[in-house]
């Protein structure tokens, strides 16, 4: 098991638009395996490549620890493209491994249609709803340089500011490896 340090709010890579994957090779597969180890170690359900310092357009999801999703298979999403967003918007509290202990209500589409490549370089198109849609949209946001504070109202963002500052300064207790302040 190889654990990768997770980037935290304030790290520049989290604000970049990720670079598309050109080839699915052994290095990418190794990074995916390490990301699953890292995500599970941190009790996460999704992790984008830039959250472990990789400037690549892919993320992973594993909802098998969530009620009603126990039988769902882990998902590797390479070069994702959101094809459709439903007009039905749902607000739910979200957390993020790059924002330890911070939670905030985020509005997202209830249903989406997603196109991506799997690890066999096969194009997949899925319709996702509820938790899966939310996690996909959250991780997709990372790949376009957005995070929870960009998705909340100005009033909520102002309330979160002291927590965000603590995270940037690494002035928090975290029980998983994170990057050095940068």
Active-site positions? 139
Q: Check: CB of residue 8 under 8 Å from CB of residue 55.
A: no
Report the C-alpha gap between 98 and 75 in whole angstroms.
Answer: 20
Q: Which residues contact 14 (CB under 8 A, 6 or more apart)?
A: 7, 50, 51, 98, 142, 145, 147
Q: Which pairing describes strands 58-61 and 46-48: parallel, antiparallel, or unpaired?
A: antiparallel
CA distances in angstroms from 143 to 72, 164, 176, listed in the order given:
23, 20, 22
């Amino acid at each position: 098991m190889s654990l990768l340090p997770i980037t935290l709010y304030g790290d520049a890579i989290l604000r970049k638009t990720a670079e598309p994957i050109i080839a699915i090779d052994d290095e990418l597969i190794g990074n995916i395996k390490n990301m699953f180890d890292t995500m599970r170690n941190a009790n996460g359900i999704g992790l984008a490549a830039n959250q472990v310092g990789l400037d690549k357009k892919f993320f992973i999801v594993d909802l098998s620890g969530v009620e009603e999703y126990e039988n769902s298979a882990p998902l590797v999403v390479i070069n994702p493209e959101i094809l459709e967003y439903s007009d039905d918007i749902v607000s739910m509290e979200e957390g993020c491994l790059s924002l330890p202990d911070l939670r905030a209500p985020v509005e997202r589409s209830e249903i989406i249609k997603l196109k991506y490549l799997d690890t066999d370089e096969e194009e997949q198109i899925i319709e996702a709803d509820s938790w899966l849609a939310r996690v996909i949209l959250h991780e997709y946001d990372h790949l376009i340089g957005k995070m929870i504070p960009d998705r909340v109202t100005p009033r909520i963002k102002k309330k979160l500011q002291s927590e965000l500052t603590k995270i940037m300064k690494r002035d928090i207790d975290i029980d998983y490896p994170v990057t050095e302040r940068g």
